[in-house]
Homo-oligomer: A and B are copies of this chain.
Amino acid sequence: MPRSDALRNRAKVLAAAEAVLAEQGLTARMDAIAARAGVGVGTVYRHFATKEALWQAIVEARVDALLAEAERLRAEADPATAFFTFFGRIVADAAAKKAYTDGLRDAGIDVKDGQGRQIAAMRAAITGLLTRAQAVGAVRGDVALPEVLALLRGASLAAETGDFPPIALEVIVTGLRAGAG
């Protein structure tokens, strides 16, 4: 079993990294994270072999949180509400945590291994919510997963890199609804 201080430090590093990455994105420096955690760089590396590993740990946690949210929304009575709430949640999440979406494409951090399962789960979750919403005529029938993902990616990236006004989001939502029922 790990020493108690090691456990404590691991948590501190994770929290610091989450905060720093949220505000600075991928360019955040390792020493900045270490400093924020009140720890030496060496310690950061003892817990996470590389910057990418640390990054992945955080993104994974984030995605898990979103998946949990999706799970919760499956219980929602109104499919339209469920779908659009999830859509908005992802965008809001991206706005708050910089470079969240970056992680999925930028050099270095590729979609791989363990994350593969998460990606699959996320796609499944979105497809589920989408299908239900379309079934009740709340979303136009000619959009499928690729379109939703593209819109999600776009809105998230926009939110990360600057302002994404509520009305802009509403335009997309309206567009998705239009002529559906």
Residues of A within 8 A of B (CB): 27, 105, 107, 140, 142-143, 146-147, 150-151, 153-159, 161-165, 167-168, 170-176, 178-179
Contacts and interface: CB of A to CB of B under 8 A. Distances in A.
Contact of A174 (B155, B158, B175): B175
Contact of A154 (B154, B167, B179): B154
The prevalent SS among residues of A at the interface is helix
Given A154-B157, A154-B158, A171-B172, 14 more contacts: A27-B107, A140-B171, A143-B168, A147-B165, A151-B168, A153-B158, A154-B154, A154-B155, A154-B168, A157-B157, A157-B158, A171-B176, A171-B178, A178-B178
A160 B154 CA distance: 10
6 contacts: A150-B164, A153-B157, A154-B154, A157-B161, A170-B175, A174-B175
Nearest to A150: B168
A163 B105 CA distance: 12
Contacts of A159: 154
Contacts of A168: 143, 146-147, 150-151, 154
